[in-house]
């Protein structure tokens, strides 16, 4: 596996950051979560004057072999159709990127479709979707390494442009299925408790999804164990877009970027990234807790507190993008609020 050099942020600056926060002209602790967010961003950037320059959003697309088993209410072609819709600016992700000033990169990592060259979609296609993990590993070791490298290369591109904050979203019909299995194996939670409606399955559809994923997990455990190396779990079930997201998160942590984590699928990717490199979590801010069954439990397993809970389940990174203004407020607090001395206000604590 590709090696990453990820370090916990240096804690030496923490007392000075806290002193600055406490001396802003407000009651101590009165800005609540903004204060802890400011602390996190300052530690990541090792500065008392943080910034969120050139925010970038990676929208990663890929199809899943397990979709052939009818585990999603949406057909496979919706993946490429939505990817094209994103190029025309018509998706939820486009709206939020425009609103909050994110540079949007739309990336084909494994979509089962040949996009015309003039669409603006970045072509990093590994294959036309993963294999059906009901019958074997979703991808080979070589494909797994390739997908990680796609994420690395994309983040290097963003970093070269001055990016300090990275958001990642996904487009891939069927990708709640690998997320549920990762959650079950990594969090040691019964699979039934990790499976939800995805894009809108009814009760019968959810029961079928449970049956299919249960068979896939049983087959895996015939040859592996619940203590299998994390890379094996990721490779055997993940999608190309999901593994690319893991590579992107790890590289972003290596570059000391702020990483915004979205809903169920991206939280599963964040969890997997942290299984490989626990230090990566220090760079992550969890934007949103969605409606997908099990998302809250996965966040609890990560000891992560999301900023928002809006009942969203669109994916694409939209929940994380909605949370960005809160992080921006925390950074503005550090840079724009006056302190007691400069404001000529008596410090009363």
Asked if 193 is an active-site residue, the reply is: no
Residue 192, helix vs strand vs coil: helix
CA atoms within 13 A on the CB side of 166: 34
Per DSSP, the residues of 105-151 read EEEEEE-SS---GGG--EE---SSS---TTTS-SS-HHHHHHHHHHH
User: Position of tokens 């979709």?
Assistant: 67
**320: helix, strand or coil:** helix
Does residue 115 contact residue 80 with C-beta atoms inside 8 Å? yes
Each residue's pLDDT, cut to its tens digit, for the chain (349 residues) gives 678 999 999 999 999 999 999 999 888 999 999 999 999 999 999 999 999 999 999 999 999 999 999 999 889 999 999 999 999 999 999 999 999 999 999 999 999 999 999 999 999 999 999 999 999 999 999 999 999 999 999 999 999 999 999 999 999 999 999 999 999 999 999 999 999 777 678 889 889 999 999 999 999 998 876 667 899 999 999 999 999 999 999 999 999 999 999 999 999 999 999 999 999 999 999 999 987 768 999 999 999 999 999 988 888 999 999 999 999 999 999 999 987 666 566 666 5
Predicted structure pTM score: 0.95
Quick one: how far is CA 138 from the chain centroid? Answer: 20
DSSP letter string, 84-106: HHHHTT-SHHHHHHHHHTPEEEE
Q: How far apart are CA 70 and CA 161, in angstroms?
A: 41
Domains and CATH numbers, the chain: 11-50+334-343 (1.10.1610.10), 56-322 (3.40.50.10210)
Distance (Å, rounded) from C-alpha 189 to C-alpha 293? Answer: 12
Catalytic residue among 67, 143, 231, 316: 316
């Amino acid at each position: 596996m590709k090696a990453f050099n990820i370090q916990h942020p240096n804690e030496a600056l923490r007392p000075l950051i806290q002193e600055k926060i406490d001396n802003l002209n407000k009651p101590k602790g009165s800005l609540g979560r903004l204060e802890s967010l400011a602390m996190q961003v300052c530690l990541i950037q090792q500065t008392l004057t943080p910034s969120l320059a050139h925010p970038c959003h990676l929208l990663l697309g890929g199809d899943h072999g397990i979709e052939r088993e009818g585990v999603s209410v949406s057909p496979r072609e919706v993946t490429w159709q939505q990817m094209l819709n994103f190029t025309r600016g018509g998706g939820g992700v486009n709206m939020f990127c425009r609103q909050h000033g994110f540079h949007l990169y739309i990336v084909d990592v494994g979509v089962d479709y040949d996009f015309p060259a003039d669409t603006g979609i970045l072509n990093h296609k590994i294959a036309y979707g993963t294999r059906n993990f009901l019958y074997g590993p979703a991808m080979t070791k070589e494909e797994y390494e390739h997908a990680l490298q796609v994420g690395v290369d994309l983040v290097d591109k963003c970093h070269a442009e001055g990016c300090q904050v990275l958001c990642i979203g996904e487009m891939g019909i069927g990708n709640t299925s690998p997320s549920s299995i990762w959650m079950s194996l990594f969090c040691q939670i019964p699979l039934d408790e990790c499976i939800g409606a995805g894009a809108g399955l009814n009760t019968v559809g959810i029961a079928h999804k449970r049956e299919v994923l249960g068979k896939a997990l049983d087959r895996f455990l015939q040859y592996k164990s619940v203590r299998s190396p994390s890379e094996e779990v990721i490779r055997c079930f993940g999608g190309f877009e999901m593994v690319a997201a893991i590579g992107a998160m790890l590289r972003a942590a290596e570059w000391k970027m702020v990483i915004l984590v979205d809903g169920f699928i991206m939280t599963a990717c964040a969890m997997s990234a942290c299984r490989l490199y626990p230090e990566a979590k220090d760079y992550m801010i969890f934007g949103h807790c969605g409606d997908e069954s099990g998302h809250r439990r996965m966040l609890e397993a990560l000891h992560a507190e999301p900023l928002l809970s809006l009942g969203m389940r669109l994916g694409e990174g939209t929940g994380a993008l909605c949370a960005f203004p809160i992080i921006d407020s925390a950074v503005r607090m550090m840079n724009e609020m006056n302190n007691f001395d400069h404001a000529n206000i008596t410090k009363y604590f």
